[in-house]
Amino acid sequence: MKKLSSNEIENLVKEIFNEIFEIPLDELTPEKRIFEDLGLDSLDIVDLIINLQKRFGVSLRNNEKIREIRTLGDICDFFVNLDKNLKP
Amino acid sequence: MGITFRTYFTAILVSVLYTLCALPFLVLLLFRGEDSRRKLWRKFILCYGRWILFWTLKIRGRIEYTDMRPEENSTGIFIANHRSASDAFLMAVLGWDLVQVVSAWPSKLPFWGFFAKRGGYLNIGRLPFEEFMESVCRELAHGVSIVSFPEGTRSGSKEMKQFHSGIFRVALAAQCPLYPLCIIGNENMPDRNFRMHDGKIRIFKLPRINYDEYKNMSAFTLKKHVRGILQAKMTQEEKE
């Protein structure tokens, strides 16, 4: 995963949501809940994870923190923290 | 005597009487092949559903069926909103040879679960997704339509929950028509605590969506599209 700024991460996450679920960008605000507000389900989550892994170039398979994600903002924070923890 | 007691008492009575009346015909099942046997079980369920509706719901509610044009229809998947436990019985009025997609708990019910299993109803809680997809495609190929409640659980109100995308992934694979089915008025018949209330149930079978219309959509977009159609109909009908 190459180093990205918080803004770049947020834009990339939104871009992925827009591409795979065709959700308009203006609806993709950080407080939106993934299941209740954006309407994703467990099968959609599989699609999302595959795409996130591909675009960010990381494996999320054994990452327990991913289970704590509830909102779009949580996804961005997750990747910001992942980015911080990367060794330079 | 309360409406809840009357309804359930009648339902139990009808169930017993119907089973006794149908018993001689069920003997025929012993001499049938697997497919034919399941078809007969489904006929049994269909007639039972009609008895229940007639004897328990019709006496205190009016049910309207619009847009029922069988000549324009072929085997496909019905996508219905899910407000109440009575939804499963309401499917009897469609009169189609159909299989319902059910979750784990209705399949475990003593009387109904037994018949659902024999009719080949699909237990989404137990089937792995690949197997579920194969089962749906097999039923469709045999001329059996599928009924799915993609909210997954009863909403118990006029609000519609978010849809699960599983059945839409299957539809894309099976390339079959979709029939949005809008059920209005039964959110309290019975309510989430299984208490019965008066009401008027209306069912609208909306125009079918052909595969050509949705083949370029993702499963996610398709579920949003169908949910939007149902929501628009509900809003229109409940505003009036």
Residues B220, A44: C-beta atoms closer than 8 Å: yes
- Give the chain B residue whose CA is nearest to the CA of A24: B221
Q: Pairing mode, if any, of strands B77-80 and B178-184?
A: parallel
**Residue A59 to residue A52: CA distance in whole angstroms:** 9
Whole-model pTM over 0.80:
yes
Please report, rounded to a whole number, the percentage of residues in chain A having pLDDT higher than 70: 91
Q: Is the ipTM of this complex over 0.95?
A: no
What was the pLDDT predicted at B110? 84
Looking at the predicted structure, is the pLDDT value of residue A86 above 80? no
Task: Please compute the mean of the pLDDT values over residues A46-69 and round it to a whole number.
Answer: 89
**Which chain B residues are closer than 8 Å to A22 by Cβ?**
218, 220-221
What was the pLDDT predicted at B233? 94
What was the pLDDT predicted at B55? 85
Report yes or no: A28 at the B interface, CB cutoff 8 Å: no
**Residue B220 to residue B162: CA distance in whole angstroms:** 11
DSSP string across chain B: --HHHHHHHHHHHHHHHHHHHHHHHHGGGGGS-HHHHHHHHHHHHHHHHHHHIIIIITTT--EEEES--GGG--S-EEEE---STTHHHHGGGG-S-EEEEE-HHHHHSHHHHHHHHHTT-EETTTS-HHHHHHHHHHHHHTT-EEEE-TT-S---SSSPPPPPSHHHHHHHHHT--EEEEEEES-TTTT-TTS------EEEEEPPPB-HHHHTTS-HHHHHHHHHHHHHHHHHHHHH-
Residues A41, B169: C-beta atoms closer than 8 Å: no
What was the pLDDT predicted at B222? 96
pLDDT (tens digit, 0 to 9) for every residue of chain B, 240 residues total? 688 888 888 899 999 999 898 888 777 777 778 888 888 889 889 889 888 888 887 644 455 666 556 556 789 999 999 999 989 988 988 888 999 999 877 778 888 888 888 889 999 888 898 999 999 999 999 999 999 999 998 999 999 999 999 999 999 999 999 999 999 998 888 988 888 888 888 888 888 899 999 999 999 999 999 999 999 999 999 886
pLDDT category of residue A2 using cuts at 50, 70 and 90: low
Residues B220, A40: C-beta atoms closer than 8 Å: yes
Is residue B86 a contact partner of residue B57, using CB atoms and an 8 Å limit? Answer: yes
**Residue B80 to residue A34: CA distance in whole angstroms:** 23
CB neighbours of B6 closer than 8 A, spacing ≥ 6?
A: B196
Facing A35 at nearest CB: one of B162, B166, B220: B162
Facing A36 at nearest CB: one of B162, B169, B221: B162
